[in-house]
């Protein structure tokens, strides 16, 4: 479900009008996330680490209103919930896009996500069907530790979906961490809103 957002009374109205004219309105940051507690929790409880941090990322994004805003036909809409369009790697080193609903219950989320992942892994091509505006584009590159990241973009396509990418987990002095890149449309959000997401995500990753 979505509702028309009140642009006229938004404190960021001028910011929206300014950045919405840009050919490339997205900005991005890459930060390091401490995942030591989360990783050991998953190992202890037999939880898949990818789906665990994906669940925490979606939960965090849904707490920040700006991550649920989308530009459609020149207007802003606020979605009640955003889900994941996640890249799923295959054994032949290709990938396909999945559509994974956010469910607050972790076990239910994992069950539904695993079915979707299995379907994508047993398919070919990109699987472009089924992805709407109420998604966050998710990718994981567990083979690369990055310090910055850019995305392929079609400037003729007015995209307003945030993009979150996760990199290779490494360990230094007994602490595990991984890079995460967040790109978001500057017409809809600023660095402050990205920081809210990062803080919430780190808080959730630190839960015992």
CATH code linked to domain 2-6+25-205? 3.30.559.10
Q: Is residue 21 scored above 80 in pLDDT?
A: yes
> Tokens 């900005």 belong to which residue?
27
pLDDT band at 30 (very low <50, low <70, confident <90, very high): very high
How confident is the model at residue 155, as a pLDDT? 86
How confident is the model at residue 130, as a pLDDT? 61
- Taking residues 77-98, report their average pLDDT: 97
How confident is the model at residue 168, as a pLDDT? 98
How confident is the model at residue 99, as a pLDDT? 96
d(CA 80, CA 67): 11
Cβ atoms within 10 Å, residue 181: 21
- Taking residues 65-76, report their average pLDDT: 97
In terms of Cβ atoms closer than 10 Å to its own Cβ (0-12, 13-18, 19+), residue 8 is exposed
pLDDT band at 67 (very low <50, low <70, confident <90, very high): very high
- pLDDT tens, residue by residue, 156-181: 888 999 999 999 999 999 999 999 99
CB-based contact 135:82 (threshold 8 Å): yes
Q: Report the candidate in 158, 151, 192, 133 with the shortest Cα–Cα distance to residue 15.
A: 192
- Taking residues 192-197, report their average pLDDT: 98
pLDDT averaged over the chain? Answer: 96
The pLDDT > 90 percentage for the chain reads 93
Q: Is residue 131 scored above 90 in pLDDT?
A: no
DSSP sequence for 92-107: TS-EEE--B---SSHH
Break the chain into its structural domains and give their ranges: 2-6+25-205
- Taking residues 180-206, report their average pLDDT: 98
How confident is the model at residue 88, as a pLDDT? 97
How confident is the model at residue 156, as a pLDDT? 86
> Tokens 């559509």 belong to which residue?
99
Q: Is residue 154 scored above 70 in pLDDT?
A: yes
d(CA 111, CA 114): 5
d(CA 171, CA 175): 5
- Crossing angle (nearest 10°) for helices 36-45 and 49-63: 130
> Tokens 């940051």 belong to which residue?
29
pLDDT band at 64 (very low <50, low <70, confident <90, very high): very high
- Taking residues 58-75, report their average pLDDT: 97
The pLDDT > 70 percentage for the chain reads 99
- Taking residues 105-116, report their average pLDDT: 98
């Amino acid at each position: 479900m979505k509702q028309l957002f009140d642009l006229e009374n938004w404190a960021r109205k001028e910011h929206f009008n300014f950045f919405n004219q840009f050919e490339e309105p997205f900005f991005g940051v890459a930060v390091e996330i401490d995942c030591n507690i989360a990783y050991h929790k998953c190992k202890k409880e037999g939880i898949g680490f990818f789906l665990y941090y994906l669940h925490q990322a979606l939960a965090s994004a849904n707490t920040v209103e700006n991550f649920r805003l989308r530009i459609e036909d020149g207007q802003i809409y606020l979605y009640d919930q955003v889900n994941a369009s996640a890249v799923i790697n295959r054994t032949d080193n290709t990938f396909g896009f999945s559509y994974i609903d956010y469910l607050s219950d972790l076990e239910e989320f994992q069950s539904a996500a695993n079915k979707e992942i299995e379907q994508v892994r047993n398919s070919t091509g990109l699987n472009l069907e089924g992805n709407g505006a109420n998604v966050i584009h998710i990718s994981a590159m567990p083979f690369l530790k990055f310090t910055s990241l850019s995305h392929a973009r079609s400037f003729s396509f007015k995209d307003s979906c945030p993009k979150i990418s996760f990199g290779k987990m490494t360990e230094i002095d007994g602490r595990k961490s991984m890079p995460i890149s967040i790109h978001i449309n500057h017409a809809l959000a600023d660095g402050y809103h990205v920081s809210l997401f990062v803080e919430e995500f780190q808080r959730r990753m630190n839960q015992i």
